[in-house]
Amino acid sequence: MKTWTKTININAPIENVWRLLDGSLADLQKIMPQVVENKPIKITEEVVGSVYRQKYKEGKRIEEYDVETIEYTNTPDKKILKVGFTLANMFEITAYYELNKINETETSFTYTVTNNPLKWFVKLFLLFASDKVVVEFLERVKKVSEAQYY
């Protein structure tokens, strides 16, 4: 299993950043343009345990998988969303988003992703995996959040 964690400070209120992670499909697509559908399958009152069927476009192919909410916290000063899904029956992936309010106009965003290969031959690919995708995602969230705020 491989884990990457990165943190970035964003010059936007915590609610503005949170909306991109926990909002509508249109909001989600601003930071994840490859997600073409995010349909609720099972919604729980406490959010944890909720499942969404997500469609993700990679080139000409569309992958479909169920994303389950594993952890959820939504307070004025701290917000956490952790989701998990299995991609192409080859990878078990979790994404952990943590937002902390620094002040009224600044937010600290920590993103942790884990990738657990389910097939022996896929483990080789992870040896060469870098944190590039994680860094690019953080920078995209920062750019979109700040552009919408200012």
Q: For residues 75 and 80, give the distance between their C-alpha atoms in angstroms, rounded to a whole number.
A: 9
Residues 6+ apart with CB under 8 A from 146: 10, 11, 12
pLDDT per position as a tens digit, 50-84: 999 999 998 899 989 999 999 999 999 999 999 99
Q: For residues 3 and 75, give the distance between their C-alpha atoms in angstroms, rounded to a whole number.
A: 26
Among 44-48, 109-113, 121-125, name the one with the lowest average pLDDT.
Answer: 121-125
Whether pTM > 0.85 for this model: the answer is yes
CA-nearest of 25, 24, 27, 65 to 141 is: 27
pLDDT reading at 122 higher than 80 = no
What are 52's two structure tokens?
A: 């969404």
Among 75-84, 99-108, 111-120, 137-146, name the one with the lowest average pLDDT.
Answer: 111-120
